[in-house]
Amino acid sequence: MHRQIVILLSVIVAWGIMSAQPAELMPHDVVQSGVKDSIVVASSDSTDERYVYLLHADETRFNQRINPDAQILVGDVVFRHDSMYMYCDSALFYETSNSLDAYGNVRMNQGDTLFLYGDRLFYNGDEMLARVRDNVVMIDKEMTLTTDSLNYDRTINLGYYFNWGTVEDTLNVLTSEWGEYDTQTNDAVFNYQVTLTNPNFVLTSDTLLYNTRTQMATIVGPSNIDSDQNHIYSTLGRYSTATEQAYLLNRSVLTNGDKRLTGDSIYYDRNGGYGEAFDRVEMDDFAGKTRLTGDYTYYNELADSAYATRRAIAIDYSQGDSMFIHGDTLRLLTRNADTDSVYRIVQAYRKVRVYREDVQAVCDSLEFNSLDSCMTMYFDPVVWNGPQQVLGEVIRVYLNDSTVEWAHVENQALIVE
């Protein structure tokens, strides 16, 4: 009888121990709710910047069987990591790894200038890396970046995309396959099939640097800038999209209609309608069949004129044979532009030398008019034509294809044969 009583007491104690097991061992979710179906886990002024804090959620759950390390948060979820606030509809919060996964109407904002939106967010507080996916929009002051996948590294304030994206500011729209944007300096880097669209031109490149504050594009690879009136090719330089002024290096080429300007370095003002080229400059007028070379050339596209200095040479190949004109300063002028009777004038000043196969000359200054193929020489000109030499105060030589048709010598004329 005594033994039966002991066994009965043991069964009662065992039943009591089993009834006292904690609720989290049960296979279903446990829901914790605070006042008014919402909870506040941390205050917004928590000071340790290393940790991600959960500030608010309407509802929190735990699922020990499926995801024992995560808090399941639903409804008006708010996180903070130092100065960055994160909002979403629902989230998984991994407090031990200082990270979270956020879903639905994701929004991040830092200060009152940087805002980041998306459908999903994966944030690691230790690495300070945010990975935002699907319908991503980043807004920084007057810049808007849109893409499908964006990583934002808060340690260096850098956001980058790798599967096509668009950056838009108050003036330009830039698209590329890969790009990055620095929220501190407003510098952007674009790679692979880059297109910058401006109301006045389109820039295409493989690599481009751009600042959304200054709206300055820096060319660091083969690039083309096209507008209705001209074309620019360069591999190195800077182009202000606001003022449309260009500083181009590495044998850049500026083409305007039937004119082409090539130089080791070029300054070009599209609005002012002029350009300057330096070192090994070539200025080609294909319609007028002339070329201007030198180490400095100024080109006015509005007046359709140019001048060159420093080893300047003008080449006229409108006749049957090319004529070379050298002087300290050369000018190329256009008359009756935009008409059927357009013609060119070449002017040369100081220490002028002329060479063509059938005629050579020296003088102080010269003017060649393509309208009547007349070359007029001033101040002690001397002209050679085979065994003949002509001197005078002013000499006018009329050319016809590859021959000298006739010459007019004024004052103190002398012919030697």
Count the helices and strands in the chain (H runs, E runs). 1, 33
* Res 5: pLDDT: 41
Domain boundaries, the chain: 26-140
Say how far apart CA 190 and CA 145 lie, in whole Å: 12
* Res 120: pLDDT: 96
pLDDT in tens, 307-323: 898 889 988 887 777 88
* Res 26: pLDDT: 30
* Res 145: pLDDT: 96
* Res 15: pLDDT: 36
**Which H/E stretch holds residue 18?**
helix 2-19
Domain 26-140 grouped into CATH 3.30.70.1520: no
Q: How far, in Å, are 59, 278, 287, 312 from residue 256 at the CA level?
A: 67, 18, 12, 21
* Res 44: pLDDT: 52
* Res 6: pLDDT: 39
* Res 338: pLDDT: 65
Longest dimension (CA), the chain: 160
Single-letter residue type at 352: V
Q: Which residues pair with 212 in a beta bridge?
A: none
SS3 sequence, 21-45? CCHHHCCCCEEECCHHHCECCCCCC
Instruction: Give backbone dihedrals phi and psi of 368, rounded to 5 degrees, phi first.
Output: -115, 125
Q: How far, in Å, are 92, 101, 184, 273 from residue 238 at the CA level?
A: 47, 42, 21, 18
pLDDT in tens, 4-13: 443 444 433 3
Say how far apart CA 110 and CA 91 lie, in whole Å: 20
Which parts of the chain sit beneath pLDDT 70?
Answer: 1-47, 337-340, 401-403
228-234 long-range contacts (CB < 8 A, ≥24 apart) are: 229/256, 229/257, 230/254, 230/255, 230/256, 230/257, 230/270, 230/301, 231/255, 231/256, 232/268, 234/266
* Res 337: pLDDT: 61
From 115, 23, 117, 118, select the one nearest 63 (Cα to Cα): 23
